[in-house]
Chains A and B, each alone.
Chain A
Amino acid sequence: MSGGPLIVQSDKTLLLEIDHPDAQACRMAIAPFAELERSPEHVHTYRLTPLGLWNARAAGHDAEGVVDSLLKYSRYPVPHALLVDVADTMDRYGRLQLANDPAYGLVLRALDRLVLIEVAKSKKLAGMLGDKIDDDTIRVHPSERGRLKQALLKLGWPAEDLAGYVDGEAHPIELADAGKDGRKPWTLRSYQREAVEAFWAGGSGVVVLPCGAGKTLVGAAAMAEAKATTLILVTNTVAGRQWKRELIARTSLTEEEIGEYSGERKEIRPVTIATYQVLTSRRGGAFTHLDLFGARDWGLVVYDEVHLLPAPIFRFTADLQARRRLGLTATLVREDGREGDVFSLIGPKRYDAPWKDIESQGWIAPAECTEVRVTLTDAERMSYATAEAEERYRMAATARTKLPVVKALVDRHPDDQVLVIGAYIDQLHQLGEYLDAPIIQGSTTNKERERLFDAFRSGSLRTLVISKVGNFSIDLPEAAVAIQVSGTFGSRQEEAQRLGRVLRPKADGRQAHFYTVVSRDTIDTEYAAHRQRFLAEQGYAYTIVDADDVLGPKLPTVD
């Protein structure tokens, strides 16, 4: 028995025991072809997927190498059938090639004629392929490149894309790591550099890093690598402005070179930051702002929070296959299950790091997650029990009983800055009154938001109640405590994003606290369990306590 750190399961999951001395080497060996699925504290789970194996082929790994690494690190015998399957799957990649033909432009070329015949007959490809040039070559319209690749992937014959990328309009961008305008010099963190290198080597793709781990810098470094005009797509205006601030501080770009394309301003500059919202806004049934994609010869398109990419943008992304695309996210879990589309249109996952690894390196604050269970009053239970099914979650989540618990939690951390996050506006207003704290919600103007955030950042405001708008892309470095009272049902990525609000490393290395207040024995508890899954898989151990323990000293028990 080799005693390796890896256990290969017959359902194509790989279990990596991370306390094993060879674990690090093994991770390096399997990372190119296996996808990290879960990374709890002791055993990480990777999965062999066709997509992952094909990406490995695209990156130049062959089946023999994959099998060798599996056999080398495996603790137990690896089933023969699995090895055969790996080889077969990898063999399917690259039988078809997308290439630039000097005479015909973009063509689909077959190294295996039978595959081309099979594929050309498929209904799924109807209309994507042009005329047949010869037995092995079919012309493809450049605009179908993305859709064709996506469809071929679904047919199980992924094409090797040799058509390359356009360089776009050149624009000098450098990282200002020597310090700019009197700031201290800095360097990219090791994982950020690895992420950029992996992205650049692959051409296009998605980088997954925890919230607060500096994804913006990965974007900036990618831009410095591309040295071309860049389109950055973000979730909202506030996030866009954060990007702008960060880019000005960390790169050679100046205020004038960065444009904002949002509901308020429509600037198109060498680096343009646009919101998803404005791009998907319609007038008379037509998307009026999608011309932005063609407004300049963009050399790089950055998708921030790519897990939120709205469906219309997907469609237009399919047209952008000749441009380099970088997706950034902390949580590539979409509740609509369209992770696959993100991979095929933006590009495969190029880099992924377990949250706990980055935490142990000190780049994000260590966090303690606690679920506080509140027992509803009899009256509340009665009304919950008799409520309609669709009303139940709202009833349970917005129970008044939660208010004193939230207050007690806020009081527990008198020296920390506290965010109270919820989904229901009524509840937030109640909380605002109860805690005497300002509220940021969808209807709050950008100006007011900026003001409140600035006050919070400066420390003059200690407690802030925010609605769903605070889920993403707000940079509040000193927030150390987040209290979640209600959410969007069982959304896993929302939970992770909310935790991300308090993960910025604190100046004094303090621990972050993340509380979830749920109503006991209701659907709220079930949703909470589902929401916690992603973070639990990243190794965040939730502690569950009773509200009574929070509200006061433990009551003496009576037999």
Chain B
Amino acid sequence: MTTSLADHLRSLPDESLAALLQLRPDLVVPVPADVSALAIRAQSRVSVARALDGLDQFTLQILDAARLTRNPDDATTATDTVLAMATSGPQPPAPTAVRAAVGRLRALFLLYGPEHALQVVPAVDEVAPYPAGLGRPAAELDPRTAALCADPAKLRRTVLAAPPSARAILDRLAAGPPVGSVPPGALQAPPLGAADPVLSDPTNGGAPTGSPVRWLVDNRLLVPVTTGSSTASGTVELPREVGLLLRRDSGPLGALRTSPPPVSAAPREPKAVDSAGAGQSMEVVRHTEGLLEQLADEPAPVLRSGGIGVRDLRRLARAGGLDEPTTALLLEVAYAAGLLGELEMPGTTTGRYGADQQVLPTGGYEVWRAASLAQRWEQLARAWLTMTRQVGLVGRRDDRDRPITALSAEAERASVPATRRAVLGVLADLEPATAPTPDEVQDLLDWRAPRRSRGRDAAHREVLAEAAQLGVTGLGALTSYGRLLLGDLTSTDERGDDPLGVHADVESGDPSGAARALDALLPAPVDHFLVQADLTVVVPGPPEPALAVELEAMTELESAGGASVHRVTTASVRRALDSGYTADDLHDVFRRRSRTPVPQGLTYLIDDVARKHGGLRVGLAGAYLRSDDETLISEVLADRRLESLALRRLAPTVLCTQYQVGRLLGALRDAGYAPVQEDGTGSTMLARPRIRRAPPRVSVTTRTVDPLAAPKLPMPRLLGVVEHIRRGDAAARAARRAPAVVRGGAPGLGGGPVPAHTHSEALAVLQQAVRDKALVWVGYVDAHGATASRLLKPVSIGAGYLRAEDERTEMLHTFALHRITAAVVAD
């Protein structure tokens, strides 16, 4: 069988072979040596399973049909037979759809051979043991059951006679899979033929399935099977014939659906979807920034087992006004985006080296913060799409019942990016702004790739929830910019033929299409605010960076979101004064920025706070200068360069000026003094706090390739691979196929001298071959006496030399005729 697939592959034109490799890229990792190796790999369990994983439900069902219709003698089937079976159900699919599915299967070489004698790759049976959820034929299971099945009327009578509980079991097994396990002991029936009322068996305990199962076994509708280790609890199998009988209403393959299940919900207003998503995006960016700021203020220690502790997570959640799962998600995303990192901080908790890792923002955070809102979101969303972290696991317990913490290794799942893309791909394939319910998404995934989506319901729902939380979707539908982002990522994968990165824009400064689309939805930054009599300051949009800095300095945030509400309080004004603003600065900011008249109460408040600010001395002095050194004070006072400051001596050790502190400091420094500014308490004021940052980390977004997905290969490379395989194949053939007469005739190998007639025969063969342009195997003794056999295409013979083209190297060689030991026409 193996050779026949190999032969089949060998006979294909290069393009078809390349097409196969493109469909099943895992076959070329690593590049197989020759076609036989390729064929073996194509029939391997792993590769076949991979190929099956990517198939939709309908194609799989057609494959099942092909398997069921195999001729028992030579295990072949035909397209028409498959078609007949597929259309035998109550709602037959269009024959073209069936043919297309067969075509797909053939393209994948899960089916191969000519139309009338299709063969199924045997590994399919190993990967999916029960075709269409049907059991083995009765003949393979049990002769008595086979006998029953051979009599359709009796079989039908027996099935109809089954008690309701037994019938329920039959129906369940008929829907597939056709095997079920039963509690131990349930099958240890009293001897056959003994009076055995179904429901009154005392040995059965309370086992609910015991009695009906035994009824079924006794009546030969189920066959007990022993499969390796599972003998302890019995396993029963439903024979194929019984299963087909039970399925007579729905057709042998069950319900066939050629197209994905429809989505019930009407598309929403695309604007509303985008609006809800964009609103959420703003939230995400804002909350992430809040969390990172929080971590900058108070880094979270890394646990010895990795990740950050539950208590720190809770603290961050509380500070950000979020719930813990959301906090965990944002932390993971920020980490994946390279905004968070670990820094060694020895001595914070223990003295041990390497024990005091802390999580805090990286240098990349500063860059991120400087980007536009949309770009910041995009970086987060990209990180989310590509990160191999299943955040839903955070807060649950692992196998050893230990809690899984955020950023710990336990939440690492390599398959998540593929899951995310599969789920979002479903949304992206729908009409824009269609919002399917999670169940419908699950149905769609089940149809698209049933083998992949089986049992992953929870993971899919998690992806949907996270997408909504991150603003990739809005109102349950994919947003327009989310679609762009997704398309962008997919095309990056397919852009394999861009080795120089000509088209790469991920790392370049220009915003991507997604960021631009989102940008258009987000409010534009504003540079003004409205001041009101209750001392609130309303910024009707996201503030410009400069405005944000001013507001942060002199107000307290009351409400954030699209706009922000700040309140000016005594404390906030004082804070502004502390950080270097003067009362005049504050007045100026409010006058300049406010679109509405500044209320008198605010002006008074600032003056009042400024009046009290900075100590008990209230006067006209803008700044003072003091020193314990009286002489120094006198020197400054007498310094002519400082005349413009109009310094006045208040006390032997104190000078003052009407100018503001900044000017006094500057002038003193210019004049070569070393003044230090002090606040009301006499302690020096730190101008700028030291900011700690972890070393930069590389964002996962730079990893554009999904670690699990096989590399996508461009056509030129594929053809290169095909050529490589071909050449390997030729070499192998050369090694294997050289006829014995060519190999064995070598004189150095113990054989006698070359008989003359053999030599002349060889010459004749060669002459004939020159005429026929045929390939010949040539035995040859080289200059060192070693023998070799080559597959040659003779070109000419003359002057004692043979000129021929070597099949392997495709080069013209010249051979001395007397050294040729044998020649045989290659077949």
Contacts and interface: CB of A to CB of B under 8 A. Distances in A.
Q: Does more than half of chain A's interface fall in helix, strand or loop, or is it mixed?
A: mixed
B534 A537 contact: yes
A79 B287 CA distance: 12
Interface stretch (B409-417, B467-475, B626-634): B467-475
A103 B132 CA distance: 59
Contacts of B475: 80, 83
Contacts of A521: 612
Given A9-B559, A11-B559, A77-B562, A41 B532 contact: yes
Contacts of B560: 9-11
Interface residues of A, number: 38
A82 B469 CA distance: 11
Contacts of B473: 80
A78 B279 CA distance: 5
A13 interface: yes
B282 A544 contact: no
A80 B474 contact: yes
Contact of A83 (B276, B471, B521, B620): B276
B530 A42 contact: yes
A544 B600 contact: yes
B133 interface: no
Contacts of B600: 541-544
A83 B280 CA distance: 10
B536 interface: yes
Interface in B417-440: none
A358 interface: no
B666 interface: no
A71 B474 CA distance: 13
Contact of A40 (B279, B281, B522, B536): B536
Nearest to A76: B562
Contacts of A43: 530, 532, 536, 538, 540
A304 interface: no
A80 B280 contact: yes
B272 interface: yes
Contacts of A75: 523, 540-541, 562
Contacts of B283: 10, 79, 81
B604 interface: yes
B280 A79 contact: yes
A393 interface: no
B199 to A, nearest CB: 32
Contact of A80 (B279, B321, B605): B279
B601 A15 contact: no
A41 B521 CA distance: 29
Nearest to B521: A77
Q: Counting chain A CB atoms within 10 Å of each CB, which of B281, B534, B538 scores highest? A: B534
Interface string A533-552: 10011011111100000000
Contacts of B540: 7, 15, 17, 43, 75
B523 A541 contact: no
B535 interface: yes
Nearest to B469: A81
A544 B538 CA distance: 22
Given A77-B276, A541-B600, A42 B532 contact: yes
Contact of A541 (B278, B279, B469, B599): B599
B563 A541 contact: no
A42 B272 contact: no
Q: Counting chain A CB atoms within 10 Å of each CB, which of B471, B559, B604 scores highest? A: B559
Interface in B271-307: 272, 274-283, 286
A536 B601 CA distance: 10
Contact of A79 (B521, B561, B608): B561
Contacts, number: 137
A1 interface: yes
A71 B562 contact: no
A542 B524 CA distance: 33
A38 interface: yes
Given A17-B540, A537-B534, A10 B277 contact: no
A548 to B, nearest CB: 14
Nearest to B468: A80
A8 interface: yes
Nearest to B273: A80
A11 B561 contact: yes
Interface string A55-90: 000000000000000010011111111111000000
Contacts of A329: none
B169 interface: no
A559 interface: yes
Contacts of A13: 559, 561, 565
B764 interface: no
A7 B522 CA distance: 13
A7 B275 contact: no
Nearest to B603: A544
B533 interface: yes
Contacts of A544: 600-601, 604-605, 608
A1 B562 CA distance: 12
Interface string B456-472: 00000000000011010
Q: Counting chain A CB atoms within 10 Å of each CB, which of B286, B524, B559, B561 scores highest? A: B561
A192 interface: no
B596 interface: yes
Nearest to B283: A79
B565 A45 contact: yes
Contacts of B563: 7, 9, 15, 76
Interface string A504-548: 000000000000000001000000000001001101111110000
A15 B565 CA distance: 9
Interface in B516-559: 521-524, 530, 532-536, 538, 540-541, 559
Given A15-B565, A536-B535, A77 B468 contact: no
Contact of B565 (A9, A17, A78): A9
A38 B562 contact: no
A83 B474 CA distance: 10
B274 A7 contact: no
Contacts of B279: 8, 76-80, 82
Nearest to B569: A529
Nearest to B523: A76
Contacts of A42: 530, 532, 538, 596
Contacts of A11: 321, 559-561
Nearest to A544: B604
Nearest to B531: A42
Contacts of A1: 521, 523-524
Q: Counting chain A CB atoms within 10 Å of each CB, which of B283, B523, B601 scores highest? A: B601
Interface string B546-588: 0000000000000111111100000000000000000000000
Contacts of B562: 7-9, 74-77
A13 B562 CA distance: 11
A7 B540 CA distance: 8
Interface string A114-158: 000000000000000000000000000000000000000000000
7 contacts: A43-B540, A77-B274, A77-B282, A78-B275, A536-B534, A539-B532, A542-B533
Given A40-B534, A76-B279, A76-B562, 19 more contacts: A7-B563, A8-B561, A9-B559, A13-B559, A15-B540, A40-B532, A40-B533, A42-B530, A43-B538, A43-B540, A45-B565, A75-B562, A77-B276, A77-B523, A78-B279, A79-B561, A81-B468, A542-B600, A542-B601
Interface of B: 272, 274-283, 286, 321, 468-469, 471, 473-475, 521-524, 530, 532-536, 538, 540-541, 559-565, 596, 599-601, 604-605, 608, 612, 620
5 closest A-B pairs by beta carbon, nearest first, are A9-B561, A541-B533, A76-B562, A536-B534, A77-B279
